[in-house]
Amino acid sequence: MVGTANNGRLRLAFSLVNGSQDLDLSSAPASNAGSECGGIEFTREDVEALVNEKMKYKNKFNYKERCENMMEYIKRLRLCIKWFQELEGEYAFEQEKLRNALELTERRCSEMEVALNNKEEELNLIILELRKSLASLQDKLAKEESEKKAAVDSLTKEKEARTSIERSQASLSEELEKVQGELDGANQRIASINDMYKLLQEYNSSLQLYNSKLQTDLDTAHETIKRGEKERSAIVENLHTLRGQHKSLQDQLMSSIASQDEVMKQKDALLNEVACLRMELHQTREDREHYQQQVQSLAAEVSKYKELATNSSELEEKCLSQGNQIQILHDQLAVAERKLQMSDMSIFETRNEFEGQKKLIEELQNRLEDAEFKLIEGEKLRKKLHNTILELKGNIRVFCRVRPQLPDDSSSNQAKVFSYPTSMEYLGRGIDMTQNAQKHSFTFDKVFMPDASQEEVFVEISQLVQSALDGYKVCIFAYGQTGSGKTYTMMGKPGQPDEKGLIPRSLEQIFQTKQALQPQGWRYEMQVSMLEIYNETIRDLLSTNKDASRIENGVAGKQYTIKHDANGNTQVSDLTIVDVQSSREVKYLLDRAAHSRSVGKTQMNEQSSRSHFVFTMRITGVNESTEQQVQGVLNLIDLAGSERLSKSGSTGDRLKETQAINKSLSSLADVIFALAKKEDHVPFRNSKLTYLLQPCLGGDSKTLMFVNISPEPSSAGESLCSLRFAARVNACEIGTPRRQLNMRTSESRLSYG
């Protein structure tokens, strides 16, 4: 019945404080040696055996034996009770000790935060100065590097120009020498040609004289021939006349014939001599033309050589000017080299200074990173301690999210309604609202500005979602006026993966963690249900019977009732419960529920949710290696938006829906006010919504509320009411969260608690 020390180790004690959780040796209180119980501890089996023990008697009429057995039993019960009382006292002492340690840690954290803030400001100033000096040094270095680059470019260009000029000078010198040699040869040829030209001129003049003489001789010979012909004709005429005197004149005739023959011979000789002279004259003319052509070509060569002489003088002048330019370039090159050496020295000094500044900046950046890391770690520790305090206090956590401006909003040109403090104490947690020139300040666990993404919002609640896998009851619900972004926060925008809401992201995380925990021996079973509360009537959104949830003439086709058991679990009768194995299956069920949910159009919202949507997942986990079992529940709720009839313009069915929504939200406010005042009676039964959320608002659940705010100035009144309601919710204490380690029975139903 009573377990004593065995081999120096105490048997594991069974705690009756929470009714289900065993105490391990690491969390056991200090030893109770010296008490009446000594080193005795009771296990769960001992207590159950002691409570369920039945007296056995040899003789039921032996009252003495019965009294002794009863006294012995009472003695053991008193011993057990005293042991529990001492254990409770030690736990109370340990709790007080932990509270003192927590307060001390909070003070240290606040002091550390102040010190980190001061250090961060100092480091920011130093970094600002260093950045300024770095920018100036970088500008100076860039300027010097550009000057160096320009000097190197100019030097390279000057070297290239010098090389090209030297090459051109060498080629010009060679060409000049060649031209000079050609000029000398041409001068010699010109001199020889001039001499030949003079000789040819003399020979030509002599030929001309000889030609004129031959011409005169020829003329005289022609005249002589003409005279001889005339004389012959005269002689022939005289011969006819003197034929009669033939005989007398025969001698004269013979003499005249002889003279005529001689004249004819002279004539033939003269003719031959004329032909020879003509041939010589023709040859002389051809030679003269040939020599004239040679003289013309030589004159052209002479003019060419004269031009070359003038060009050579120009080239000499050009070479002289280029030599002067080369000397100037040499001087400029020497100056540039000196400047380059000076710039290299200054660049080396600047580079050394830059390296020193760079090392200093790197050291300061490392110090800044260390400080930022310490700041982040301190912030994580602060959040962890803050969450621990909230869990110890049992407060409902509240996150505020401000919707960004939409294109259809009419307040784009008006003044901003909300502002956000920038001090370290309220950064990311405070929000200020201005209405009628009056400022209202609120502080929550987290405030998301309009530019916050869905991913940033989910990161803040991811650990809370993880608690459901650890065996806690978790409830997250979105509250706010219609059109403030509640459904977007919870469900996201369909078809856009980057804008998925909290429900899809939570499911993805749960199934990913489920896969990651399988190597550690954990196996999970998950069940899902989805319902809506429409006009104070529960509708099953996963029901395959379309007529089961239809309301005709104000009467539901199937009545669903809410029941709470003694362990704080909630059951909804006849509700469809689906076993799921992957996030894809849950997404299909979510799409199916979204098509079945009641949605309507009002003047304030094109797609207004006309019912409260409740998504519930029950998680049962078993560790095959440690045989530990956990049961967690995740409730994700999208409340219908509050609205004023004067703005929504609802009529008919929309009017009834609005009245039902406002009534249920008013009942929720009454419950919150009663919890805040710690009244004995909390009106959970005033509406189906509050009765369904009773374990979340008044039990041992981890509860978080999103208050969604519209930035429109026309909605400032509703926004202020929502913020005040959220502040009151944040101050409510609902109890300390407790892990569920109960065994899962085969007939267990889905719990909302």
Q: What is the pLDDT of residues 388-409, one digit of tens each?
A: 665 655 668 899 999 988 877 6
pLDDT tens per residue across span 1-36: 333 333 333 333 433 333 333 434 334 444 444 444
What is 489-531 written as a DSSP string? Answer: HHHB-TT-GGGB-HHHHHHHHHHHHHHHHGGGTEEEEEEEEEE
Residue 444 confidence (pLDDT): 92
Residue 579 pairs in a beta bridge with 527
Residue 399 confidence (pLDDT): 94
Which residue has tokens 């501890």?
41
**Does the annotation list 480 as a binding residue?**
yes
Phi-psi region of 574 (alpha: psi -120 to 50; beta: other; left: phi over 0): left
Which residue has tokens 């039921």?
60
Pairing of strands 578-580, 599-600: unpaired
Between 318 and 692, residue with greater pLDDT? 692
Type of residue at 241: T
What is 544-590 written as a DSSP string? Answer: S-TTTS-EETTEESS---EEE-TTS-EEETT---EEE-SHHHHHHHH
* Tokens standing for residue 320: 């002289």
What average pLDDT does range 46-69 have in this prediction?
73
**Does the annotation list 244 as a binding residue?**
no
Read off the pLDDT band of 453 (50, 70, 90): very high
Distances (CA, A) of 630 to 28, 463, 697: 21, 17, 22
How many CB atoms are located within 10 Å of the residue 229 CB? 12
Q: Are 635 and 752 in contact (CB under 8 A)?
A: yes
**Does the annotation list 487 as a binding residue?**
yes
CB within 8 Å of 548: residues ≥ 6 apart: 540, 557, 558
What average pLDDT does range 599-606 have in this prediction?
52
Residue 638 DSSP code: E
Residue 413 confidence (pLDDT): 47
What is the distance in angstroms between the CA of the first residue and the CA of the last residue of the chain? Answer: 36
Type of residue at 729: V
Residue spans per domain, the chain = 394-406+433-544+559-598+607-743
Distances (CA, A) of 503 to 255, 586, 596, 646, 693: 165, 10, 17, 33, 18
Residue 357 confidence (pLDDT): 82
What average pLDDT does range 252-261 have in this prediction?
70
* Tokens standing for residue 584: 């894809």
Query: What is the chain's mean pLDDT, rounded?
Result: 77
pLDDT at 707 over 80: yes
Residue 63 confidence (pLDDT): 74
CA distance 658 to 535: 9
pLDDT at 726 over 80: yes
What average pLDDT does range 621-649 have in this prediction?
81
**Does the annotation list 388 as a binding residue?**
no
Q: What is the pTM of this model?
A: 0.50
CA 312 to chain centre: 71
Residue 250 confidence (pLDDT): 63
Distances (CA, A) of 289 to 107, 281, 471: 129, 12, 131
CA distance 698 to 675: 8
**Does the annotation list 163 as a binding residue?**
no
Q: Is 4 exposed, middle or buried (0-12, 13-18, 19+ CB in 10 A)?
A: exposed
**Does the annotation list 483 as a binding residue?**
yes
How many CB atoms are located within 10 Å of the residue 465 CB? 24
CB within 8 Å of 555: residues ≥ 6 apart: none
What is 679-736 written as a DSSP string? Answer: -S---GGGSHHHHHTHHHHHSS-EEEEEEEE---GGGHHHHHHHHHHHHHHHT-B---
Residue 56 confidence (pLDDT): 67
Question: Which helix (H) or strand (E) element contains residue 236?
Answer: helix 63-241
**Does the annotation list 255 as a binding residue?**
no
**Does the annotation list 486 as a binding residue?**
yes
pLDDT tens per residue across span 502-539: 999 999 999 999 998 888 888 999 999 999 998 888 98
Distances (CA, A) of 721 to 80, 105, 194, 480: 54, 36, 126, 9
394-406+433-544+559-598+607-743 maps to which CATH number? 3.40.850.10
* Tokens standing for residue 177: 């020498």
Maximum distance among all Cα pairs of the chain, rounded to whole angstroms? 239
Residue 706 confidence (pLDDT): 94
Which residue has tokens 């009628």?
436
b/e map 420-452, b = 16+ CB within 10 Å = ebeeeebebbbbebeeeeeeeebebbbbbeeee
Residue 247 confidence (pLDDT): 65
